[in-house]
Amino acid sequence: MATNNSQHISQQFEQELQDIRSRVLTMGGLVEQQLSKALKSLKKSDIDLARSVMEDDRLVNSLEMKIDEECIQIIALRQPTASDLRLVSVILKAITDLERIGDETYNIAQKALNLSENKHTKKNYSEISTLGNHVKSLLRDALDAFARLDVDAALSVAREAQEADAEYESFMRTMLTYMMEDPRTISRVLDLMWSARALERITAHTHNLCEYVIYLVEGKDVRHLSVETIEKVLDRNNED
């Protein structure tokens, strides 16, 4: 009887962990959707869409709080083993990054609203759209790697994030040049630069998600390491 009860508790615990993982992926899908909408509002000067992104940020915040509470309850009531505790700790870290990605999409939507209301020219929008689409693709691939616990896919995203960082730096240099050449553009360019900065921060949080996949699967903490060092730690080469 005791054995059956133990098995039941174990199965119930496994279901709780799966439910939380599912909620994290739901939260990831929501922030990915928010980013897509924020970028579209910037490109199309869509005031209603920008406001929608800003209003829906509360849904992301609510999910983070709910998942956080469930994780704390598991730690307090289930006393998880080392491997399960690692999963719970990764989830707690991941939802923090996802919530911050949500905050950055809010910031992009806010800048889109500013630009739309001030009727600025759309010069330079193609460059930031290119960067935005790259970052959106990185986030999607990182969430996919997280869902599948795919270390190689996570490494691929981390490598590509470096390219997005280079795009961001190039964009910022270009914007600084425009401001120096024509001070009348300063207000508009600053809004674009802050949007690009938000995209750079999203890239950083996306990179964190990749590190969590590696930690969860390999049990190795690779925070603060370069991609090249991570590959050496995991005994991977640079070939795709």
Dist. CA 174–CA 8, nearest whole Å? 61
The CATH code that applies to domain 2-233 is 1.20.58.220
Q: For 178-201, what is the mean pLDDT?
A: 93
Q: For 162-170, what is the mean pLDDT?
A: 96
Residue 156, classed as helix, strand or coil, is: helix
Q: What is the pTM of this model?
A: 0.91
Dist. CA 207–CA 57, nearest whole Å? 21
Which phi and psi angles does 57 have, rounded to 5°?
A: -60, -30
Tell me which residue of 152, 140, 132, 149 sits closest to 201, measured CA to CA: 132
Helix boundaries (H) for the chain:
2-44, 47-78, 82-117, 125-148, 151-181, 186-218, 227-233
Beta-carbon-side half-sphere exposure of residue 188 (alpha carbons within 13 Å):
19
Domain boundaries, the chain: 2-233
Q: Please, which pLDDT band fits residue 4 given cuts at 50, 70 and 90?
A: low
Contacts of 98 (CB under 8 A, 6+ apart): 24, 27, 28, 31, 60, 64, 205, 209
Dist. CA 5–CA 15, nearest whole Å? 15
Q: Which residue has the higher pLDDT, 10 or 198?
A: 198
Residue-averaged pLDDT of the chain: 90
Express each pLDDT in 69-80 by its tens digit.
Answer: 999 999 998 888
Express each pLDDT in 107-163 by its tens digit.
Answer: 999 999 998 877 666 777 888 999 999 999 999 999 999 999 999 999 999 999 999
Q: Please, which pLDDT band fits residue 29 given cuts at 50, 70 and 90?
A: very high
Q: Please, which pLDDT band fits residue 213 given cuts at 50, 70 and 90?
A: very high
